[in-house]
Structure 1
Amino acid sequence: MDIRIMEYYLAVVREGNISAAAQALHVSQPGLSRQMRDLEEELGVTLFERGSRRIRLTEEGMILRRRAEEMIHLMQMTEGEISRAHHNVSGEIHIGAGESRSFHHISETAGKIHAQYPDIHFTITSGDTADLMEQLESGLIDVALIFTDYDHDQYQGIRLPQEDRLGVLMRRDDPLAGKDVISVHDMKDQPLIIPRAAAGLLSSDPALADMKIVTVYNLIYNASLFVEDGVGYAIGFDGLINVSGDSALAFRPLETQIIQAATVIWKKYESFTPAVNLFLNYMKQGR
């Protein structure tokens, strides 16, 4: 029995039907159905009770599920033990991330890995969720750090414990810098510099649709220069731009906070390199 077929079989069990499993695996439904029939013929048993919308396993099917899980787990353990024994895990890990202090969880993990596996290298791509999801889907990055919900049928994720605080970046000499928090009313008729991910929200919410947006950005540093030069007020996360000491800028939190939790996601059922699998294991252990 082929390990890949065992993985396909477990996907059918998890998803509950051939169609959903084929979509999750990015294979054709007829092809997956044929492979399941071939598996039954090879074993000489019936694995599924057909005829309902959601498959049910026969007794033989339940036995195979347990054994398939054991086989795949043993294979993964063996690969990990061999790699660690030789200390020669190498390769590239491509990470896409939105700008956030939550990225510390990734950088700390990278530091631990690099200390043990110096031949593993990291490539970091910054962008907003739209950019990162496109690159993740096309295989240009292995994992992405995002701040919105995602398709749980297509991706797996680890929610990070730290939450980011939204606020307003402004000039330190601006009258609004004298306030402790900023309200939506304070921003009325003010020139706003907003992240691209928030543009759709502002246009779809009637209460926010008439806000005065002068610039849309995807990297906060460039937006901060617009603020410094008097173009407007930037909406963004706290802690990304230095506003201490003699900085010309100040940050004030928004009065009404929307929880912005960061999640590291990756494609389900993807065949990753040992380096990427190592990274994901470290992230799962350290969350």
Structure 2
Amino acid sequence: MELRQIKYFIEVAKREHVTEAADAMHVAQSAVSRQIFNLEEELGVNLFIREGRSVKLTPIGEMFLQQMEQAVKLIDNAKRKVEEYLDPEKGTVHIGFPSSLAGYTLPTAISAFRERYPEVKFQLNQGSYTYLIDGVIKGDFNMAIIGPVPKKTKKITGKTLFTENIVALLPLNHPLADKKLIKISDLREDPFILFPNGYILREIIVNACAQLGFEPSVAFEGKDIDAIKGLVSAGLGVTLIPEITLIDSLPRATVKIPLVEPNVTRTVGVIIPTERELLPTELLFYEFLSEFFSILDRYQN
């Protein structure tokens, strides 16, 4: 069994089409077909059900795919580990992040890190809260910036970097727009603009409202922070939003107001796997994050 055969197999399994897999890997279709045939001959089982050049995995093929994907990740990590031990300041950091930390937090940290290690490269993966946790557990990437920091989740450990406030973002013509502070209960009758169900920021906001005995009326939903800010800017409702997402500027025709009763916060930190070691370059960045946000926190306070 050769690594080349395994990579051909994985690509065909993902695309369910031999020609498309060959095109993606820049090799001849016949070469891919031959290697898959050789692999099946060696294993003594059919990995695919064939329908012309379209294919579907057999049950044993699906099991084999799961195992081989993990094997290839281990091989790739081992190769990277050797390369980075030779020179960790020229390696690559694979990291996940949510949209709420994409505008300021992560870019600021990466920019500061690359001033110290200018040849380090980054491979970024944006996604939802559960996507980031699952990605670290499965080994799609070895760390993620996340908020809030999960507690008691198996196979990962989290380090809190800072705690931030959740604030109200209102249209400029809102009756409470001139207030210095507002209570969440003051927004009881307002239409809310939130992330869809399943997003952690929605859960934080709904739980805060529940503490005061009401459920927010959700008029619109947005899957990223900029969409939500844009809908508030258009006057379509109000939202509660991490303050750091507004650090550079407010959206047009909106106002940011701190919350009281209750004061809503979230932790922001980094998660890593408990069952795998960080690669040398990733370890450099992981250690840098704690140092960087500790200094930043002292400066801001």
CA–CA distance in 2 between the matches of 1:124 and 1:258?
Answer: 29
1:241 aligns with 2:246: yes
Letter in 2 for 1:258: V
Q: Matched residues in 2 for 1:206 and 1:218: separation?
A: 25
Could you tell me whether the CA contact under 8 Å between 1:95 and 1:122 is conserved in 2? no
Seen in structure 2, the aligned counterparts of structure 1 residues 278 and 206 have a Cα distance that, compared at 3 Å, is closer
Does the 8 Å CA contact 1:181/1:254 hold for their aligned counterparts? yes
Q: Kindly tell me: are residues 109 and 224 of structure 1, through their superposed partners in 2, closer, same or farther at Cα, counting changes over 3 Å?
A: closer
- Partners of 2:125 and 2:84 in 1: how far apart? 30
Q: 1:174 to 1:113 in 2, by over 3 A?
A: closer
Partner of 1:111 in structure 2? Answer: 111
Change (3 A) 1:223 1:214: same
Q: Of 204, 218, 234, which residue of structure 2 is paired with 1:213? A: 218
Shift in Å at residue 94 of structure 1?
A: 2.3
1:122, distance to aligned residue in structure 2 (A)? 1.3
2:200 aligned with 1:176:
no
Shift in alpha-carbon separation, 1:208–1:266, aligned structure 2, 3 A: farther
User: Which of 262, 268, 271 is 1:265 aligned to?
Assistant: 271
Counterpart position of 2:188: 188
1:135–1:215 CA distance, 2 compared to 1 (3 A)? farther
Q: Which residue is equivalent to 1:144?
A: 144
CA distance in structure 2 between the partners assigned to 1:96 and 1:245 by the alignment: 22
Give the structure 1 partner of residue 167 of structure 2.
167
Q: What TM-score do the two structures reach when normalised by structure 1? A: 0.59
The 8 Å contact of residues 230 and 251 in structure 2, kept in 1 or not, is answered as no
Contact 2:166/2:259, CA 8 A, preserved across alignment:
yes
Q: TM-score if structure 2 supplies the norm length?
A: 0.57
Give the conservation status (yes or no) of the 8 Å contact 1:154–1:268: yes
Q: 1:117 to 1:215 in 2, by over 3 A?
A: same
1:132/1:208 CA distance change after superposition, 3 Å: farther
Aligned-pair distance for 1:144?
1.6
Change (3 A) 1:146 1:99: same
- Say if 1:82 and 1:189 are closer, same or farther in 2 by CA, change over 3 A: closer
Q: Find the aligned partners of 1:198 and 1:246 in 2 and give their Cα distance.
A: 19
Query: Quick one: which of 192, 197, 201 aligns to 2:200?
Result: 197
Which secondary structure state, in structure 2, belongs to the residue aligned with residue 270 of structure 1?
A: coil
Distance 1:242 1:206, change over 3 A: closer
The answer on whether the counterparts of 1:154 and 1:267 sit within 8 Å (CA) in structure 2 is: yes
CA contact (8 A) 1:97 1:145 kept: yes
The verdict on how the C-alpha distance between 1:102 and 1:285 changes in structure 2, with shifts beyond 3 A counting, is farther
**Contact kept? 2:84, 2:279, Cα under 8 Å:** no
Aligned match of 1:89: 90
- Match of 2:123? 123
Give, in whole Å, the separation in 1 of the partners of 2:111 and 2:248: 27
CA distance in 2, matches of 1:198, 1:135: 19
Aligned to 2:31: none
What letter matches 2:200 in structure 1? A
Cα deviation, residue 245, structure 1:
8.4
Corresponding position of 2:133: 133
| 1:250 maps onto 2:251 in alignment | no
Paired with 1:80 and 1:253, the residues of 2 have a C-alpha distance of 48
Equivalent pair of 1:100/1:237 in contact (CA under 8 Å): no
Task: Give 1:99's aligned residue.
Answer: 100
Compute the displacement of 1:158 (Å): 2.1
Q: Distance in 1 between matches of 2:84 and 2:232?
A: 52
Q: Percent identity?
A: 16
1:283 aligns with 2:300: no
Letter in 1 for 2:267: A
Q: 2:227 aligns with which of 211, 222, 242?
A: 222
Q: Deviations over 1:59-79 (max 9, x none)?
A: xxxxxxxxxxxxxxxxxxxx9
Flag the 1:234–1:273 CA change in 2: closer, same or farther, 3 A. same
Q: Distance in 2 between matches of 1:103 and 1:243?
A: 8
Indicate if the aligned counterparts of 1:170 and 1:249 stay in contact, CA closer than 8 A. yes
